[in-house]
Amino acid sequence: MPHSSVPRAVALLTRHDKGRVIAPILQNKLNWQLHTSDAFDTDQLGTFSGETPRTLTASGCAEYKARLACELSGLSIGLGSEGSFDAGPYGGLLPWNQELLTCVDIDNNWQVTGIAHGPSFHQQRVLESSDKLSEFIEDIPKGQALILYPQSRPADTLFKGVHGKDNIQAAFQECQDRCSEAVVVEYDLRAMHCPERMNRIAQATENLFARLQCYCPNCKRPGFWPDHLVDGLPCGVCHMPTHSIAKRIAICQSCQHQQSFAVDTPFAEPVNCPYCNP
């Protein structure tokens, strides 16, 4: 999708300041003017802190937000951002953060989703003393806020978006005063309080731009991206198939046209071969 000579208005639904990292990228690369709206409380779709359960998948939620952004703004292009955390691809050794940024074009009936993911370093601790809290505070990244609540999690004692050592200690003390028990202290994962997520949302925006430049050779819709991975790359020694990626396939969401893309290397390393290295 080329850079437009005339600014184009697009809508983003957010109450978590995500436009701060999304807007400059889209402005620079596409001349899109981002119009953010907080007309809908996106926390109704689920919260990381657990007060509201999530009922949609991350991709379903991003699409819903994008379409709702169009509906509420009256604009034809809408954006929806959604993040998730899980055990990740390495056996749960590292928490994993994935950020999606879905773009829908109502007039032309297409949608494209930018994706970024990687390890997350968010922390949660159950602390019984202010001394342990002080140790925890020392390792908090700049700009990262905390959530604090008593271990039994009473509904009326939840402190969110807490910045600064004095404020954190005061919230910790109030939790203990109210419930006389250990306090759960964890990173606030809302985007405006989590620099790690903001960086990844910016990466998802860059990926969205890259996908918008890839057009289906059959119907010319954007987003023709080789997301589907096929393993079986032959081993460089025994030539038996391995679990390494052999090709990537792009499938158009509109007309279902498919195209395969070979990987850069013709053979897998023997260390990745189940026959040479069982």
What's the average model confidence in pLDDT over 111-131?
Answer: 94
171-to-143, 148, 276 alpha-carbon distances in Å: 18, 7, 57
Higher-pLDDT residue of 95 and 257 is: 257
Run of H or E residues at 175: helix 165-179
Round to whole Å and give the CA distance between 70 and 121. 34
In order, the DSSP letters of 101-160 are EEEEETTTTEEEEEEEEEE----EEEE-SHHHHHHHHHTPPTT--EEEEETT--TT--EE
8-121+194-212, CATH topology level: Rossmann fold (3.40.50)
What pTM does this model have?
A: 0.92
User: Distance from first CA to last CA of the chain, Å, rounded?
Assistant: 46
**According to CATH, what is the number of the domain 124-187?**
3.30.1490.20
pLDDT band at 83 (very low <50, low <70, confident <90, very high): very high
What's the average model confidence in pLDDT over 251-274?
Answer: 94
Q: Give the model confidence (pLDDT) of 173-224 as tens digits.
A: 999 999 999 999 999 999 999 999 999 999 999 999 999 999 999 999 999 9
Q: Assess contact for 102 and 111: CB atoms under 8 A.
A: yes
Q: Assess contact for 189 and 197: CB atoms under 8 A.
A: yes
Average pLDDT of every residue of the chain: 94
- The full set of domain ranges for the chain reads 8-121+194-212, 124-187, 228-272
Round to whole Å and give the CA distance between 186 and 188. 6
Round to whole Å and give the CA distance between 70 and 77. 6
Round to whole Å and give the CA distance between 121 and 266. 35
Find the angle CA(188)-CA(14)-CA(106) to the nearest 5 degrees.
140
In order, the DSSP letters of 176-199 are HHHH-S-EEEEE--SGGG-HHHHH
Round to whole Å and give the CA distance between 240 and 268. 10
pLDDT at 137: 94
**Token pair in block for residue 158:** 């939840």
The mean-pLDDT minimum among 140-144, 152-156, 196-200, 212-216 falls in 152-156
The mean-pLDDT minimum among 39-48, 146-155, 169-178, 210-219 falls in 39-48
What's the average model confidence in pLDDT over 112-133?
Answer: 94
pLDDT at 214: 97
Round to whole Å and give the CA distance between 46 and 49. 9
pLDDT at 25: 98
- Given a cut of 80, whether residue 90 has pLDDT beyond it is no
Establish whether domains 8-121+194-212 and 124-187 are of one fold: no
Which residues in 132-169 are b (16+ Cβ under 10 Å) and which e? bbeebbeebeeebbbbbbbeeeeeebbbbebeeeeebb
79-to-46, 112, 187 alpha-carbon distances in Å: 18, 10, 26
